[in-house]
Structure 1
Amino acid sequence: MPADTPFGFGFTGGPDPNDPQQMQQFMSQLQHMFAAPSGGPVNWDLARQVAQGHLTGAPGGGFGFSLAGMLPGLTAGAGQTPGDEPEKPVGDPSVTPFDREAVSEALRLADLWLEPESALPSGITTSVAWSRGEWLTKTLDIWRKLCDPVAARIVGSMTDLVPEEMRGQLGPMSAMVSSLGGALFGTQLGTALGSLAAEVLSASDIGLPLGPAGTAALVPANIATYGKGLELPDDQVRLYVALREAAHQRLFSHVPWLRGHVLTAVETYAAGIRVNKEAVEEAVGRFDPMSPEGVQEIALEGIFAPDDSPQQQAALARLETALALVEGWVSVVVARAAKERLPEVVKLGETFRRRRAAGGPAEQTFAALVGLELRPRKLREAAAVWEALTEHRGVSGRDALWGHPDLMPDVEAFADPELFARTELDLGDLGFEEFEKGIEDSGEQKKDDPEA
């Protein structure tokens, strides 16, 4: 069968056109791939299967045939071009009983060490060790919430390429354009999330509350890989990651407004991203519906138009400030809790700051795909503010600022941390009882509503 046979029968991994059973399975897979997304613009079922396939090496992300064989380039990640060598599966080792015990003990010890360094009580109700695949499935709901606004703009731009007067004439073919966008975005997003799942160290590793409320989770396989690169003992790296996870949990569990504030900042910025319709038109123009393997010519890169509008710049500033404040606080309390206990705490702290500031390859892939960087660019400045507040106001006075978003340090505080710390109202002496009551109230709210 020639290589240019429609539907890619001539490609490795394609079905045998003379085998009715294979053909029936193949057509069922195509129908699944181009099915209209339910409840949003992205084919999330496809995204999940591609992500899992990226980890495990299952053909086509869990499909019976290799999508890469049937439709070359469809499952390529953002930035991967046709002809590139496909990435080898990273694997998804099972979580062992030793892993579970080690993670549980590390998180217990981390919470104990953090106690004198934080006015916020423990936020951990459940301690778990996740495999890479479990991280993926447990965080997918939040990714859906964050990515759908961008995906809707891309898919909408594809639909807009069909003139309105022609849409009625196309009938079911009109819906195929939208389905193609949902499938294309889903496959590339799946690859990006699969890459992230192979790198993240915990549920809160990228500074967002991705997991269920109150669940502190570490990913032992990734921690082990990361520790080898640092040439540090596994137990030290695990404990440092546990300290960071436990600190994040204190914030997101006991600062009632923070979870919604951070996620809304991400959503607001994402919703304001503009899509370069000319770039979309050029990419989609290469697709021949009679030759689906041509989908390899479509790459979701370079389609985000710079937007210097005041609204979008303000949204970006709010997002960067929010991420920096969270990461800066975590860095400070973890460093103080571990300074006399972990021999390599200075090296670990600096390595993690660089890692968060630069972002790993997976984060960069994700940013290229959705136009959103989840990096706390002002991490050092924010950490300096929290350090200064600790020195001048103590732990209670510092953490009392989490009582209300209006009390939070801003970019002016970043410019002169000492001045901000000296002149800020000392809430450690005035009104901290109200802050503690707010923490208790949020705890009661959590009992009534676990998602609060």
Structure 2
Amino acid sequence: MQPETPGPAGSTAPDAVPPASGAVDHGLPVNWTLASTTATRLMQPGPRTTPAAASALVERLRADSARAEGHVREVTGLGAGLPLLPADVLDRAAWARAAVAGMDALTSGAELPASPRPLRAVTSAGAGVQLGALLAYLGARVLGQYDPFGGPDGTGRLMVVAPNVHAATQSLDVDGAQFGLWVCLHEATHRLQFTAVPWLRDHFADLVGGLLSLQEPDTAKLARLPDAIRSLRSEKGEPADVLALVELLQGPEQRAVLDRLLALSTLLEGHADHVMDAVGPEVVPDVATIRARFTERRRGGGLVDRLLRSLLGVEAKMRQYAVGAAFCREVTDAVGMAGLNRVWESPETLPTRAELATPADWLRRVG
């Protein structure tokens, strides 16, 4: 699945002439093909195993992914009547190529100020290399992913990265069959979120497209940079991260959309974490041990690895899991899973970022 390189659609200006006022380019200036090839070339090889063991793992993960969604439906009450489909079990390079294609599809609707074609070509090449390097780093760590915009027809694709599941099983010293099913529970929950909630896919795409289309000139961001740095330095107790800096550099309109997008992604990740543990020891007997060791693994790593995770915003994502899962637990304790499912009724019933930290406020608002 090799994505095509998007051209500068939307710009009718000649190559050597700046675009007219109001002209736009559709989609991010990223050379998606270069991103894919860079990620593939830089990707670390997976752990060694025998062909027979690899084949057995692939088949087990395919079966587990469909079985996992059945358990998720029993716990959540969502998705009755939808088909139970297996995941695509991939190696690291195939995951990177799929991730590139999914990002291309997700951001294709963004409208950015048009730029001359030579400048866009240079910018897109640099962005393609950077994105490829990022995916090469993540490709050795991601266990699975549900891409709502992936697959041959663009309607969604559940992926599990077999070499990484195998490597994590070894490093955590846990039962391989249980761990693989546990991973599939998380990703199957994501698939169910988007397939059982009809409006969620378009809402998510609209938020991403809206945020990208509101990008300000670099001069406006540079003007806010000194204040942003001073604000980060003055914070006590919480380490500064890339996400915090990004938020401080946003204009008012951008910040409003970013808040909604972060609230949604925090809910999605926390809900998946909550559900994968709520399935319980009847399905995954060692769930408590797996969760404890996996949480420690998320926090661990060497100095360089921790630095990279901070720079890439991965640390902020880890906090999303914790905040979102705590929200889901508190709401479920108060009103049950059916009460928690009110978050999926409409975009208006989604919790805000403030409500995620104070679930009682969300409960009062939705009645």
**Cα 1:321/1:349, change in 2 over 3 Å:** farther
**Cα 1:364/1:244, change in 2 over 3 Å:** farther
Asked whether the equivalents of residues 221 and 249 of structure 2 are also in contact (C-alpha less than 8 Å), the reply is no
Deviation of residue 321 (structure 1)? 0.5
Residues 56-89 of structure 1 deviation map (CA, whole Å, 9 limit, x = unaligned): xxxxxxxxxxxxxxxxxxxxxxxxxxxxxxxxx4
Q: For residue 64 of structure 2, what is the aligned residue in structure 1?
A: 106
> Based on CA coordinates, which of the two structures has the bigger radius of gyration?
1
Could you tell me how far apart the structure 1 residues matched to 2:259 and 2:297 are? 21
Deviation of residue 391 (structure 1)? 2.7
Asked whether the equivalents of residues 111 and 212 of structure 2 are also in contact (C-alpha less than 8 Å), the reply is no
Deviation of residue 315 (structure 1)? 2.0
Could you tell me how far apart the structure 1 residues matched to 2:206 and 2:47 are? 32
Query: Which one-letter code corresponds to 2:140 in the other structure?
Result: A
Deviation of residue 150 (structure 1)? 9.3
Q: For residue 22 of structure 2, what is the aligned residue in structure 1?
A: none
State yes or no: 1:120 paired with 2:75: no
**Cα 1:405/1:46, change in 2 over 3 Å:** same
| Aligned partner of 2:42 among 31, 54, 74 | 54
Q: For residue 43 of structure 1, what is the aligned residue in structure 2?
A: 31
Residues 306-326 of structure 1 deviation map (CA, whole Å, 9 limit, x = unaligned): 524221221221121001111
For 1:138-153, list aligned pairs within 5 A: 138-146=98-106
| Aligned partner of 2:131 among 189, 206, 220 | 189
Deviation of residue 184 (structure 1)? 1.8
Greater Cα offset, 144-153 or 96-105: 144-153
Q: For residue 326 of structure 2, what is the aligned residue in structure 1?
A: 384
State yes or no: 1:216 paired with 2:216: no
**Secondary structure of the structure 2 residue equivalent to 1:125:** coil
**Secondary structure of the structure 1 residue equivalent to 2:30:** coil
Q: For residue 260 of structure 2, what is the aligned residue in structure 1?
A: 318
Deviation of residue 231 (structure 1)? 2.2
Deviation of residue 423 (structure 1)? 7.2
**Cα 1:401/1:316, change in 2 over 3 Å:** closer
TM-score normalised to structure 2 length = 0.70
Structure 2: stretches of 5+ with no match in the other structure: 10-26, 223-244
**Secondary structure of the structure 2 residue equivalent to 1:203:** strand
Could you tell me how far apart the structure 2 residues matched to 1:36 and 1:113 are? 40
TM-score normalised to structure 1 length = 0.58
Residues 18-64 of structure 1 deviation map (CA, whole Å, 9 limit, x = unaligned): xxxxxxxxxxxxxxxxx995655322222221111112xxxxxxxxx
Structure 1: stretches of 5+ with no match in the other structure: 1-34, 56-88, 160-174, 281-302, 426-452
**Cα 1:359/1:132, change in 2 over 3 Å:** same
Could you tell me how far apart the structure 1 residues matched to 2:100 and 2:262 are? 23
Could you tell me how far apart the structure 2 residues matched to 1:36 and 1:414 are? 38
**Cα 1:260/1:349, change in 2 over 3 Å:** farther
**Cα 1:190/1:420, change in 2 over 3 Å:** closer
Asked whether the equivalents of residues 32 and 101 of structure 2 are also in contact (C-alpha less than 8 Å), the reply is no
Q: For residue 225 of structure 2, what is the aligned residue in structure 1?
A: none
Asked whether the equivalents of residues 91 and 162 of structure 2 are also in contact (C-alpha less than 8 Å), the reply is yes
**Secondary structure of the structure 2 residue equivalent to 1:409:** coil
Greater Cα offset, 412-421 or 185-194: 412-421
Residues 222-248 of structure 1 deviation map (CA, whole Å, 9 limit, x = unaligned): 111122222222222211101111111
**Secondary structure of the structure 1 residue equivalent to 2:279:** helix
**Secondary structure of the structure 2 residue equivalent to 1:100:** helix
Could you tell me how far apart the structure 2 residues matched to 1:108 and 1:355 are? 26
Query: Which one-letter code corresponds to 1:268 in the other structure?
Result: G
Identity fraction in percent: 25
Q: For residue 17 of structure 1, what is the aligned residue in structure 2?
A: none
For 1:10-409, list aligned pairs within 5 A: 37=7, 39=9, 41-55=29-43, 89-91=44-46, 96-121=54-79, 124-146=84-106, 156=115, 176-204=118-146, 209=148, 211-212=150-151, 213=155, 215-274=157-216, 276=218, 307-350=249-292, 375=317, 377-409=319-351
Asked whether the equivalents of residues 200 and 222 of structure 1 are also in contact (C-alpha less than 8 Å), the reply is yes
Asked whether the equivalents of residues 91 and 161 of structure 2 are also in contact (C-alpha less than 8 Å), the reply is yes
Residues 343-373 of structure 1 deviation map (CA, whole Å, 9 limit, x = unaligned): 432343356567779999899869968x999
